Chain A
């Protein structure tokens, strides 16, 4: 029994965190809000070089052949930086789905391109009405009633919409499923949702941690009535509650990633517990962060809103807390 990351996993995550501290600071995220792609120019290729994007892909196609547990801490770091890149969907969901279910030729071709960073694949799960990064995707993995389809962009009609998070380029997609595009049945789709829920939960924990860090930093500096507002007990208790929410969500998230890696029969249940807890935690922390900042938190000049708005999007992406609690109830209570 050992419930902790290995030193290698921590080192890898730290290397990513160092990169993001330099290349994906709030100023870079703001650039992504304003530019055409919603992404940080050049950053994806850096992540590709580090092997992060193809972490779950087999070595034969340029991947690292690792497992979900090796990726989850990195995705958490991405959340901490509000990384505006499709890392958790591509590295965490699309790559293993294509790896496990596409025919050999497709898998080889698409995974090689993804691992080389020359193309991206967009993901449309049935749980989500919107697809992120549809424009420019070389392929789509889309869910229909009969499972996951691997679909050429030519046959996908894309209608852009605007997200509250300016770096999220979301669209509705319209397409016609056919047996020719079917990649795997409903169980493969369910597995994709479990992975999506787990990695989105990891991102939410990262976002929550950053919102809490911003808050504790701010309340220690900001003075009212001649003292730092962080010395007021109401503020202290808000911060303690925020920490409580995120610290008790994290173990559920790490365990979900472990169970996915082990192909544990309860992995789906564990993913739902993780997403329910992380969605709730990010919601609690976000509101506390706003409240403790006062007026400045309600501006677009201050950085909090970058993390807050990403959190709002992810809280309901891949299933809300309520929907995952319902899944837990169905599994546990019958």
Chain B
């Protein structure tokens, strides 16, 4: 066991910190899940890319720095510590990209990855449908074979598509074998959203942002994907989409989507809030709740260090990534709950802060968003089923 960083890693951290100190927007950007906020976030993403901070762990030819997984953790820690913006590119760079690296052709990798890193293409995730949420394998959106054109015609509807209204591309699952059921006969497709036969309708989320969309497909055409990747295509094998999708969801549940830096930075701000308000709020239990949130964030950070050690040494977390997902999402709720207790009677205020520096109340906003954590990326009920069945080996039926 060695919980120290090497001189190189320390130097990397110093470089991250210096760059972020100089460039991270202050005051913070408005939410990226609104039309005007999104534009500002794209400016930020381009700045990250220009100085090669957008995707540090990717190879240099795709816009990264070839950073190790440890360095990626350091970058994330510094990123959140600096209070830098949420990553509106996250569904591409954190969820789709690992699947493209694993299943994509060389042409797909070379075309999509740099564009994704640069924020030229913005990807949304098209899993859920009105009648297929937790039961993803029950999806009915289909891709009908068009032999003449050498590709697929899409029909159906996706929903709850995060930032769908602002994105340029969608990755998702479609049924390609009409005689198949459940997780057989599905194909993972990469779809430009500006093609004929695709309609996107944005709608509001509980937290006030417009971040959701429904995406309707009415005969939109996607080629097989062995030609020019710009037109979209199949990722992995036709009818083999379930396996590709499961690789994406394990990135989502595991550490890439929610690195510990996010929670250690949030609890550091919670501690600050406690120091400012803890003495005046009439809530004897809140001190304990803040301490508990702080302990939980540390536990998550350490758990991640052991995960990363395992990955570096060739041990995959597998279904254990469901434990991560339950823990970070419920920790996020608890820590925001503690913050709202500290705000007391002011917790309902949408804008908040000292006169002259009023900003969108980050704790109220964060609390509302935290409540979606136990729902998205596979609900925590589903994650608990996975832990029980695949990690603890309890009988399925």
Contacts and interface: CB of A to CB of B under 8 A. Distances in A.
Does A associate with B in a complex?
A: yes
Interface of A: 1-6, 69, 212, 216, 219-220, 227-228, 230-231, 233, 235-237, 239-241, 243-244, 247-249, 251-252, 254-255, 258, 273, 276-277, 322, 325-326, 328-329, 332-334
B305 A3 contact: yes
24 contacts: A1-B5, A1-B309, A2-B2, A4-B1, A4-B310, A5-B1, A219-B394, A230-B388, A240-B385, A241-B384, A243-B323, A243-B391, A243-B392, A244-B323, A248-B327, A251-B303, A254-B302, A255-B3, A273-B298, A273-B299, A277-B295, A325-B288, A329-B291, A332-B294
Most buried by B among A212, A235, A329: A329
B290 A322 contact: no
B309 A329 contact: no
Given A251-B306, A252-B302, 20 more contacts: A1-B6, A1-B70, A2-B2, A4-B306, A220-B394, A236-B388, A237-B385, A237-B388, A239-B387, A239-B394, A240-B387, A241-B384, A243-B387, A248-B300, A251-B303, A252-B299, A325-B292, A329-B290, A329-B291, A334-B275
Contacts of B327: 244, 248
Given A244-B327, A251-B305, A236 B294 contact: no
A233 B305 CA distance: 31
Interface in B344-375: none
Nearest to A331: B291
Contact of A333 (B275, B308, B309, B323): B275
Contacts of B284: none
Interface string B372-395: 000000000101110111011111
Contacts of B288: 322, 325-326, 329
B271 A240 contact: no
A1 B290 CA distance: 28
B32 interface: no
Given A1-B2, A276-B295, A277-B295, A251 B397 contact: no
Contacts of B287: 329, 333
Nearest to A4: B309
A328 B236 CA distance: 49
A228 to B, nearest CB: 5
B302 A333 contact: no
A254 B326 contact: no
Contacts of B388: 230, 235-237, 239-240
Interface in B5-40: 5-6, 9
Interface residues of B, number: 48
B394 A1 contact: no
B254 interface: no
A230 B389 CA distance: 9
Nearest to A264: B3
A220 B2 CA distance: 39
Interface of B: 1-6, 9, 70, 271, 274-275, 278, 287-288, 290-292, 294-296, 298-300, 302-303, 305-306, 308-310, 313, 323, 326-327, 381, 383-385, 387-389, 391-397
Given A220-B395, A244-B323, A329-B291, A249 B299 contact: yes
Contacts of B323: 243-244, 247-248
A48 B326 CA distance: 42
A332 B326 CA distance: 26
Contact of A251 (B290, B299, B326): B299
Nearest to B295: A273
Contacts of A3: 1, 3, 302, 305-306, 308-309
A332 B291 contact: yes
Given A248-B327, A252-B298, A252-B299, A2 B1 contact: yes
A25 B385 CA distance: 31
A240 B274 contact: no
A237 B392 CA distance: 11
A69 B2 CA distance: 11
B71 to A, nearest CB: 10
A325 B278 contact: no
Contacts of B387: 239-240, 243-244
B384 A251 contact: no
Contacts of B395: 220, 227-228, 230-231
Contact of A220 (B296, B310, B383, B393): B393
Given A236-B384, A251-B299, A334-B275, A231 B394 contact: yes
A258 B383 CA distance: 31
B206 to A, nearest CB: 25
A98 B129 CA distance: 66
B23 to A, nearest CB: 27
A243 B383 CA distance: 12
A220 B20 CA distance: 52
A216 B5 contact: no
Contact of B392 (A216, A251, A258): A216
A251 B302 contact: yes
Nearest to A276: B295
Most buried by A among B70, B299, B391: B299
Nearest to B313: A4
Nearest to A273: B295
Contacts of B1: 2-6, 69, 254, 258
B383 to A, nearest CB: 8
Given A2-B1, A240-B388, A276-B295, A247 B303 contact: yes
Contacts of B392: 212, 216, 239-240, 243
A233 B389 CA distance: 10
